Structure 1
Amino acid sequence: MSELFPRKQIMGFVFSLVLTAVAMGVYFFDMSYAVAMTVLLITAFLQAGLQLVVFMHAGETEDKGAIYANVYYGVIIALFTVFGTLLVLVWDMG
């Protein structure tokens, strides 16, 4: 019966709740802008990784290398897009 109990999903859900509570703590506690943004960025990336691995089962198939490569590629493209936009529009280096 133990193998039928979704222990991994329940632990992932509890960890998601903890990460959400930490992120909401930024709102309720008076933190400086730098600390608040650091906490929010860390919890956001941990939450995204947790969702990808635990609930979307990214590492449970035979082609997990291709799945992770696509995720890394997407993150790199997103970072280039964000920082390229900041360079041109905000920092006026275009």
Structure 2
Amino acid sequence: MKELFPMKQVNGFIFSMLLTVIALSVYFLDMSYSVALTILLVTAFIQAGVQLVLFMHAGESEDKTSIYTTTFYALSIALFTVFGSLLAMIWGYMF
């Protein structure tokens, strides 16, 4: 019976709820902007990783290196797009 109970998913759910409580505490506690933004970014990326690995079963297939490589590539493109836009529009640098 123990092998039928999804313990990894239950632990992932509890960890996701803990990360949500930490992120929600930013709203209720009086923190500076930079500290609050740092906490929110860190908890968001950790929670995205938990969701990807535990609930979307990214590491359970035989093609997991391809899945992780594609995810890393997509994250890189997204970050380059966001920071390139910030660089050009807000910070005033032109190429």
* TM bracket (short chain): over 0.9
Instruction: Please identify runs of 4+ aligned residues in structure 1 that moved more than 3 A.
Output: none
2:43 alignment partner in structure 1: 43
Rounded Cα–Cα distance in structure 1 between residues aligned with 2:39 and 2:83: 20
Superposition map of 1:1-94 within 5 A:
1-94=1-94
> One-letter code of the match for 2:9?
Q
Q: Distance in 1 between matches of 2:42 and 2:88?
A: 26
Separation in 1, partners of 2:34, 2:4: 44
Normalising to structure 2: TM-score of the pair?
A: 0.98
Structure 2: how far apart are the matches of 1:30 and 1:13?
A: 27
Identity of aligned residues (%): 62
Give the CA deviation at 1:29.
Answer: 0.2
* Count of aligned positions: 94
Unaligned regions of 5+ residues in structure 1, if any?
Answer: none
- Give, in angstroms, the shift of residue 20 of structure 1: 0.2
Letter in 1 for 2:92: D
